[in-house]
Structure 1
Amino acid sequence: MHSPESLGIPEAALTADGALWTAREIAQQPRMLERTHAMVAGLATQIAAFVDPVTGNPAARVILTGAGTSSYIGECLAPLLDRQLAARVDAVATTDIVSAPRLYLDPAQPLLLISFGRSGNSPESVAAVELAETLVADVRHLVVTCNADGALGKVGVRQAMTLLLPEETHDVSFAMTSSFSCMMYATLAALSGPDTLGFRVGAIARATARVIDDANTQTHALALTGFDRVAWLGSGLFKGLAREAALKLGELTNGGVATCFESPMGFRHGPKTFVTARTLVCVFVSNDPLTRRYDLDLLDELRGDGAADRVIEITAGAPHGDAADAITVPGLAQAGDVDLLWPYVAVAQLFAFHASRAMGIRPDTPNAQGTVNRVVQGVRLHPMVP
């Protein structure tokens, strides 16, 4: 009998290498996206009734918040949602809110605080909710979480609603993968309306599945090259995604690969000094015609410099250079950039996973020293000074 596989690797081998959960959770994302869509669609009326009084108010504010990977969900979505909603939309990490609450929370401005939490047990996440509840006169809390038992959904507040994602998205692995992608999808569907995504979710899921299948070999080969530095670059929505890609690689290699992130245009202004002869540069290329031209200019410049070992474009369009230096997302050449978030992040997850294994690290528990944890520990919360 053929043994089960994940990412083309026998699960027995993945188990032995401490990589099974990470592989499974990357691979399950297309299916989880469609299940997440169905969940949000089923709650559409209740969600609209809860969020509309804030999102439809030009004098109000929406804050997308979380810590680490969860905060990058907000960084990916905030620029788009700020254009779509009447209210102002910002991404502010819980770690920033907790350490400087009066800088980010306006007592007189109506607020929808959208809190992301895979486990919902990060102390900063709970503290951010409590601070908003204390400081803001008119605040609503939308909790987007993967854990039915998390503390985040149990904080006593005046107005709250919880979007509980499918149980499988509560990633067992150290690194967030399907939890990131599905919390991001649930939030976009909830605030844009699931009907606007209903005809697109199938294409997004199919493209993500194809990328996981087709880019698996290519990202594995890149990981075996042994780059000691990787720069992730993205414009617009993809700058937040580049930050998540850099974190994922740092987490899964336990800091064994130096990483940075920037926008392609911003990379020229100093961060380009990061590039050495053993550096891989990966660029998330936009579908927007104007933004794409700037992305391609930077690709040309980096390739012309010849300073980096490899420059890879991740694109939904035709490759700009040698096809061997492109990872192509099928079926979304005409899509808006927001639809590319999910197949693009799958590329970064695959590369981080293979880089971890290539270095002899166990992806499910990469930090053997215990200095970082799946749920952050060692946080001491201080009372506000009057």
Structure 2
Amino acid sequence: VITCNENGKLAKNTVNDEKSLLLLMPPQTNDLGFAMTSSFTTMVLNAMAVFNINNIENFSSDVDKLSNSVNDFIENNIEKVTSLANEDFERIVYLGSSTSKGIARESALKVLELTAGKVNASYDTPLGFRHGPKSVVDDETVSVIYISNDEYTRKYDLDLAKEMLAHKKNDKVVIVGDNIEEDILNKADYVFNVENINYTVENEVLLPLQQIIFGQMLSFLKSVNLGITPDNPCPTGEVNRVVQGVILHELV
């Protein structure tokens, strides 16, 4: 059990259970804000650490590299992400392959939450998007493509980028990745460089945690742009920071 809230029922119900392993995150990660950003990244990192327990020193070194890369990304891109957040768009689509599909989903969730649904967000894989789902794109749409560092996988990511740029009208195409070829750099509306780090673990494992910083930044800044309070975008209570009203039915 990985949780950031030591006072939550999940932690209390498992702390003395001999069949359970409770991993409590640092209290600073129990976010007070609605979107639970550091809660998410810390719990994901700890899940990865569990599966790298026999290689923990190298994994810890990788996390230091990740942290430095993320700090640099924020400093180098805050103005450009702010500019994108100030664009007038009603839809956003996040696209990612392999491990980045999950981060595409998390990115879509964050912007949906922090804009109180005013920005309609969805996600898919680049290959899955190329047929019917691409119909969602209109002049009010931003399409974000997370580019893989895997040599084979990124070919499909870049193919979709080229296809969308070739048929682009007033919609926006955003590329988040490393070593993007000149033709795409010149045609995309925004390109955000994500450093390709030589991790000791499988490269594609930690890449999504570099990518999610972009999604978190854009969601927060778009919320501010729309005049919504990011810490409590739904003050009427239909949606809550901690899910309420869920009944745990007994499994017979």
Calculate the TM-score normalised by the size of structure 1: 0.60
Deviations 1:105-142 (A, max 9, x none): xxxxxxxxxxxxxxxxxxxxxxxxxxxxxxxxxxxxxx
User: Does the 8 Å contact 2:65/2:197 carry over to 1?
Assistant: no
**How far apart are 1:160 and its partner, in Å?**
1.4
Structure with greater Cα Rg: 1
Q: Match for residue 45 of structure 2?
A: 185
Q: Match for residue 345 of structure 1?
A: 212
Q: For 1:215, which of 77, 90, 95 is the aligned residue? A: 77
Deviations 1:42-66 (A, max 9, x none): xxxxxxxxxxxxxxxxxxxxxxxxx
User: Does the 8 Å contact 1:313/1:319 carry over to 2?
Assistant: no
**How far apart are 1:366 and its partner, in Å?**
0.3
Q: For 1:153, which of 8, 11, 14 is the aligned residue? A: 11
Instruction: Write out aligned runs for 1:93-104 (5 A).
Output: none
Q: Match for residue 163 of structure 2?
A: 301
Q: For 1:263, which of 125, 131, 152 is the aligned residue? A: 125
Q: Match for residue 326 of structure 1?
A: 191
Q: Match for residue 107 of structure 1?
A: none
Q: Match for residue 146 of structure 2?
A: 284
Q: Does 1:204 align with 2:66?
A: yes
Query: 2: CA distance between counterparts of 1:202 and 1:184?
Result: 15
**How far apart are 1:191 and its partner, in Å?**
1.2
- What is the DSSP-based 3-state SS (H/G/I as helix, E as strand, rest coil) of the residue aligned with 1:313? strand
User: Does the 8 Å contact 2:6/2:12 carry over to 1?
Assistant: no
Instruction: Write out aligned runs for 1:95-134 (5 A).
Output: none
**How far apart are 1:381 and its partner, in Å?**
3.4
- What is the DSSP-based 3-state SS (H/G/I as helix, E as strand, rest coil) of the residue aligned with 2:173? strand
Instruction: Write out aligned runs for 1:21-36 (5 A).
Output: none
Query: 1: CA distance between counterparts of 2:80 and 2:25?
Result: 31
Q: Does 1:374 align with 2:232?
A: no
Query: 2: CA distance between counterparts of 1:223 and 1:269?
Result: 28
Q: Which residue identity lines up with residue 283 of structure 1 in the other structure?
A: I
Query: 2: CA distance between counterparts of 1:354 and 1:304?
Result: 29
Number of equivalences: 242
User: Does the 8 Å contact 1:181/1:342 carry over to 2?
Assistant: yes
- What is the DSSP-based 3-state SS (H/G/I as helix, E as strand, rest coil) of the residue aligned with 1:287? coil
Q: Match for residue 94 of structure 2?
A: 232
**How far apart are 1:163 and its partner, in Å?**
1.2
Query: 2: CA distance between counterparts of 1:217 and 1:353?
Result: 13
Q: Which residue identity lines up with residue 362 of structure 1 in the other structure?
A: T
**How far apart are 1:308 and its partner, in Å?**
5.5
Q: Match for residue 4 of structure 1?
A: none
Deviations 1:186-243 (A, max 9, x none): 1101112223412211111111111122221111101111211000000000001000
User: Does the 8 Å contact 1:275/1:308 carry over to 2?
Assistant: no
Query: 1: CA distance between counterparts of 2:197 and 2:142?
Result: 25
Query: 2: CA distance between counterparts of 1:218 and 1:268?
Result: 27
How many percent of aligned residue pairs carry the same amino acid? 36
Q: Match for residue 8 of structure 1?
A: none
Instruction: Write out aligned runs for 1:247-258 (5 A).
Output: 247-258=109-120
Query: 2: CA distance between counterparts of 1:185 and 1:150?
Result: 20
Query: 2: CA distance between counterparts of 1:230 and 1:334?
Result: 31
Query: 2: CA distance between counterparts of 1:382 and 1:167?
Result: 30
- What is the DSSP-based 3-state SS (H/G/I as helix, E as strand, rest coil) of the residue aligned with 1:160? coil
Change (3 A) 1:219 1:366: same
Query: 2: CA distance between counterparts of 1:358 and 1:228?
Result: 13
Query: 1: CA distance between counterparts of 2:68 and 2:236?
Result: 38
Query: 1: CA distance between counterparts of 2:249 and 2:170?
Result: 45
**How far apart are 1:334 and its partner, in Å?**
4.4
Deviations 1:163-195 (A, max 9, x none): 111111000001110010010001101112223
Q: Which residue identity lines up with residue 304 of structure 1 in the other structure?
A: A
User: Does the 8 Å contact 2:108/2:121 carry over to 1?
Assistant: yes
Q: Identify unmatched segments of 5+ residues in structure 2.
A: none
Higher relative contact order (CA 8 A, sep 6+): 2
Q: Match for residue 25 of structure 2?
A: 165
Q: Which residue identity lines up with residue 184 of structure 1 in the other structure?
A: V
Query: 2: CA distance between counterparts of 1:163 and 1:278?
Result: 43
User: Does the 8 Å contact 1:317/1:333 carry over to 2?
Assistant: no
Calculate the TM-score normalised by the size of structure 2: 0.91
